[in-house]
Every structure is written in structure tokens, then in C-alpha cells.
Amino acid sequence: MIPNDSIETLLKWRGAASLGWLVVLLAWESVAPCYGLFRSGSDRGRHAVRNLVLALVNGLAIALIFAGLWRSVATWAEDNHFGLLNQLPWPDGVRWVAAVLLLDVWTYAWHRINHRVPLLWRLHRVHHTDAQMDVTTANRFHLGEIVLSSVLRIPLILLLGIGFGELVLYETLLQVVVQWQHANIALPPRWERVVRWCLVTPGLHKVHHSRHQPETDSNYASLLPIWDFLFRSLKFRDRPEEIRLGLDGFDTPEQQSVLGLAKLPFRRDPAPRDEISPSLPR
């Protein structure tokens, strides 16, 4: 298990590290963008504020409601030797790796379910309707999706016996990688081909944000791409800069406002998903 003092240190520095990494990626996007997304700095600023308002609401919900619940459940499971990881005397390093792998395969499964169940897709599509995907898109989720995923974390922590420190470690790794993969950047092709076998890269994740539905419904992994390989949902695109981002039928200024995004799950689809134009990017 991760010692309590190490957990507190990680929690203390996580926010500052995340903010610092955000600044680095914003600068990287400015110097070497993959797409020319914005006509002006003010357009980019409005886009960032819109996404970060959603991030703030979601972050407050997690901090005020769920973080304490997760910690209490994880502590109870440890004290009572409940859950998979609490059944064996794992060496610390092995246990940390096992916890990260278990949490990551669950994240993959939950993400894939969000694309398959219509009600969940209505919530999740708030994330996919961003046609100007940049690092701030990493935090663009509907509150309903965050609440559902957070509630499901409770039985998951119990059944797997995940320690709170292990959860914080995984969430920290995930935040770093998810910000990076959503950023408006591209790795050099040689690096992309190598790194994408170890981590979900910006090039891999841009395929997932394509308007072409067979691509939208692929590359569900968030941290480790091995799950897409094992479960046969991996797709590549040699030129990710040609991908058309977003979802057809959700591009109006009203739909892209903070209020519009909050109401988006209650709007009808412009067409059933399998009838939406599958035209490839030009």
C-alpha cells in the first residue's frame, strides 16, 4: 500500500503539477499546432473558458462529494481485507502495477460502454462535440457522466480492493496522459509509431474524435493502448491532421455554449448514429 504521508504529498502537488502541465501544453499548441483551429486569440480564449467552466463544476463535485467517499470505502476494504488486491500479500511495486492495470481496463470498458448505451452516449457526446479539440477538451465532460462514473467507482474500489493511494496514483497518471492526448499537437511520425504502442498518443486519440463513426467507435483506451489491441478496437491514421473533429449536427454556437452543452443530452440526435454521414475527412 502507498503510505499515508506519500498520498498527502501526491495530493498536495497534483493540482500544481496538473496546472503546470496545462501551461506547457498550451504553449506547445501555440508554437506547433496540429490544426489551425481558431481565427483569433479571443476565439481560443472563449473556447478554453467554456471547457474549463465544465471542468470546474465537475472538479467541485468530485472534491466535495466523491473523493471522501472513495477514501472511506478504500480504507474500509483495507481494514477488512476485502477485495481482490487485499487477498494476497503483494510486494508494493507489483501491487501498484496491478492496481493501475485493473483501473485502466475498467476505464477502457466504461468508455466503450458509453459509446454503446444510448443514454450514456447522450451524456458522453458532450465530450465528442468539440470540433476545436485542444488540451482543454480533456476536461470537457457533462456533470451527469462524471456523477455516474464516480458512483460506479465505489463498488469498483470495494471489489478490487483498490487503495486510495493507488487510486490517486492512477488518476494522476491518467490526467497527465489525457491532457497530452487531447492537445492540439502531433508527435513526429517516427515517434508516434513507437510511443503509441506504450501510451495513448495524440495521434491515436484524434482518431477517436473523428466524425467518421467507425473511427469514433474505436481507440477507447485512455492510458495504455494494449486494451484496444486485445479487444480489437484499435485503428490507426497515418495523417491525423486530416481528421475532421467533432460530431455532425452539433456545431451551432447555441449548442456549443456552456448552457447548450449542459442541455445537450436532452436534445435529440440529428439522425441515428449509423445514418450520420460517414464521409471521410477531405
In 3D space, the residue among 54, 55, 37, 237 whose CA is nearest the CA of residue 134 turns out to be 37
Q: Confirm whether 173 is domain-assigned.
A: yes
Prediction pTM value:
0.91
User: 214 lies in a domain?
Assistant: yes
Domain encompassing residue 242: 10-270
Return the higher-pLDDT residue of 161 and 89: 161
Q: Is 280 part of a structural domain of the chain?
A: no
Whether the pLDDT of residue 185 is over 60: the answer is: yes
C-alpha distance across the termini of the chain, in Å: 51
Confidence class of residue 272 from pLDDT cuts 50, 70 and 90?
low
pLDDT at 6: 67
- The answer, yes or no, to whether residue 11 has pLDDT greater than 80, is no
Buried b (16+ CB within 10 A) or exposed e, 124-162: bbbbbbbbbbbbbbbbbbbebbbbbbbeebeebbbebbb
pLDDT for the residue numbered 265: 95
If DSSP codes are grouped into helix, strand and coil, which group holds residue 7?
helix
Q: SS3 of 2, please?
A: coil
Distance between CA 87 and CA 268 in Å, rounded?
Answer: 47
| Structure letter (DSSP) for residue 35 | S
- The count of structural domains within the chain is 1
- Give the contacts of 19 (CB within 8 A, at least 6 positions apart): none
pLDDT of 279 higher than 60: no
Backbone phi and psi for residue 189, each to the nearest 5 degrees, phi listed first: -50, -40
What residues have CB less than 8 Å from 86, skipping those under 6 apart?
77, 78, 161
Per the model's pLDDT, the better-predicted residue between 111 and 272 turns out to be 111
pLDDT attached to residue 271: 60
- Tracing cell 474524435 back to the chain, one arrives at 209
* pLDDT for residue 273: 58
The answer to whether residue 276 is domain-embedded is no
pLDDT in tens, 208-243: 999 999 999 999 999 999 999 999 999 999 888 899
3-state secondary structure of 36: coil
Q: Is 152 among the domain residues? A: yes
Q: Between vectors from CA 178 to CA 173 and to CA 182, what angle results, nearest 5°?
A: 160
Torsion of CA 84, 89, 95, 99, to 10 degrees: 10
Helix, coil or strand: residue 40: coil
Residue 227, class by beta-carbon neighbours within 10 Å (0-12 exposed, 13-18 middle, 19+ buried)? Answer: buried
Per-residue pLDDT tens over the stretch 131-180: 999 999 999 999 999 999 999 999 999 999 999 999 999 999 999 999 99
- pLDDT digit string (tens) for 40-74? 889 999 999 999 999 999 999 999 999 999 999 99
7 alpha carbon, distance to own chain's centre: 22
Instruction: Name the residue among 266, 247, 258 with its Cα closest to residue 55.
Output: 258
**Residue tagged 517516427 (cell numbers):** 190
4-8, 126-130, 226-230: lowest mean pLDDT where?
4-8
d(CA 151, CA 149): 6
Task: Give the whole-number percent of the chain exceeding pLDDT 70.
Answer: 93
Domain presence at residue 128: yes
Report the C-alpha gap between 121 and 114 in whole angstroms.
5
Answer yes or no: is 279 within a domain.
no
Half-sphere exposure of 74 (CA within 13 A, CB side): 19
Q: What does the alpha-carbon distance between residue 108 and residue 232 come to, in Å, rounded to a whole number?
A: 12
Is 263 domain-assigned? yes
